[in-house]
Amino acid sequence: MENIPKRKIKDSVFTNLFQDKKYLLQLYKALHPEDCNVTEDEIEDITIKHILIDADYNDLGFSVGNRLMILVESQSTWTYNIIIRALMYLVQTYHDYFKRTNQNLYGSKKVNMPIPELYVIFTGDRKNIPDKISLSKAFFKGAKIAIDVDVKVLYQENEKDIIGQYIIFSKVYDKQRKLYGNTKQAITETINICKDRNILKEYLENKEQEVVDIMMTLFDDEQILKAYIKDVKENTAKETEKESAKETAERLIKKGKMSLEEIADCVPALSLDELKELEAKVMQFM
């Protein structure tokens, strides 16, 4: 059977793409085209590897000198919960920053902190995507709250910058997956189409085998989850059926009009030995 690529494939490619400072710099310049003088040396990857106790991590975080702290998430399914996750990532990232820069939050001196910017790159097909979402508007009907979070949403396809190219890559893959399913052919077709269209071409040419390996070797989380849910449902159904069979058998035993062999024919979910045990328990209370 052909290997199945990971369903959240685009997240993996996203993370791999921006591990390279060359492309990280391109991403920053797409967000801040006015900053023409920034260099790779000023950019530092501060992506969270683990957050709190759940071992979650964000897709991408980077700082630009001590001026900016930018967190970016890639999202293929629309959800306002990304705002809450962004807030959690931001708090943890600041915590790490203060620790890394040896700043005392309990001292009298005001700490220095970079300006935060939060983005979500949306690669799905949902219509009427807002340009910005906020904690206050999404969850509290615009009320003034103690702390608000604004997340800018990026969703436009654009062959001229790396963010727009990543969105195009994601949508090309979605189309190929619809044609070929979660197969290697969908992956190779995606790579070939994008290279022909000059979409992430340099990255795909230099790391083509690595990209294929990423897509092909990661387990398919969705497949595993589906199998688990199916197993749970089947086990639950069996347990429910058995409990119902026990109730029916118990009523028949109490009436005393049928032998255990006859009852076994009526409730095949229970064995004759199980019926004997049930009969013994029923007789104790009669």
Span 166-214, pLDDT tens digits: 999 999 999 998 998 888 889 999 999 999 999 999 999 999 988 887 7
Q: What is the DSSP letter of 51?
A: B
CA atoms within 13 A on the CB side of 1: 4
Using the predicted structure, report yes or no on whether residue 225 has a pLDDT greater than 60: no
Task: Give yes or no: residues 201 and 246 share one domain.
Answer: no
In a domain, 37, yes or no: yes
Among 174, 173, 178, CA closest to 192: 173
Task: Give yes or no: residues 13 and 68 share one domain.
Answer: yes
Task: Give yes or no: residues 194 and 238 share one domain.
Answer: no
Structurally, how many domains does the chain consist of? 2
Tell me the DSSP string of 87-130. Answer: HHHHHHHHHHHHHHTT--TTSSSPPP-PEEEEEEEE-S--SS--
Task: Give yes or no: residues 122 and 264 share one domain.
Answer: no
CA gap 152, 157 in Å, rounded: 16
30: containing domain: 9-218
Q: Domain boundary at 177, 200, 218, which? A: 218
Task: Give yes or no: residues 148 and 116 share one domain.
Answer: yes
Mean pLDDT, to the nearest integer, of 37-42? 94
Span 52-89, pLDDT tens digits: 444 447 889 999 998 999 999 999 899 999 999 999 99
Using the predicted structure, report yes or no on whether residue 3 has a pLDDT greater than 70: no
Task: Give yes or no: residues 204 and 233 share one domain.
Answer: no
Task: Give yes or no: residues 132 and 164 share one domain.
Answer: yes
In a domain, 252, yes or no: yes
Between 94 and 216, whose confidence is greater?
Answer: 94
Chain-wide mean pLDDT for the chain?
85
Among 220, 213, 211, CA closest to 190: 211
Among 100, 106, 132, 105, CA closest to 119: 132
CA gap 15, 60 in Å, rounded: 7
Distances in whole angstroms, Cα of residue 203 to Cα of each of 11, 22, 33, 266? 16, 10, 21, 66
Task: Give yes or no: residues 152 and 234 share one domain.
Answer: no
Cβ atoms of 138 and 86 closer than 8 Å? no
pLDDT at position 232, please?
64
Span 103-157, pLDDT tens digits: 999 999 999 999 999 999 999 988 889 999 999 999 999 999 999 999 999 999 9
In a domain, 120, yes or no: yes
Task: Give yes or no: residues 237 and 193 share one domain.
Answer: no
CA gap 74, 206 in Å, rounded: 22
CA angle 140, 145, 146 (to 5 degrees): 145
For the entire predicted model, the pTM comes to 0.74
- For the sheet with 115-122, list strands across it: 43-45, 60-64, 68-75, 115-122, 150-154, 132-134
Between 248 and 151, whose confidence is greater?
Answer: 151
pLDDT band for position 224 (50/70/90)?
A: low
pLDDT at position 84, please?
95
Task: Give yes or no: residues 38 and 162 share one domain.
Answer: yes
Residue 280, Cβ neighbours under 10 Å: how many?
A: 10
Task: Give yes or no: residues 177 and 38 share one domain.
Answer: yes
Q: Domain boundary at 172, 192, 218, which? A: 218
Task: Give yes or no: residues 16 and 136 share one domain.
Answer: yes
pLDDT at position 267, please?
78
Q: Domain boundary at 200, 218, 236, which? A: 218
CA gap 98, 277 in Å, rounded: 66
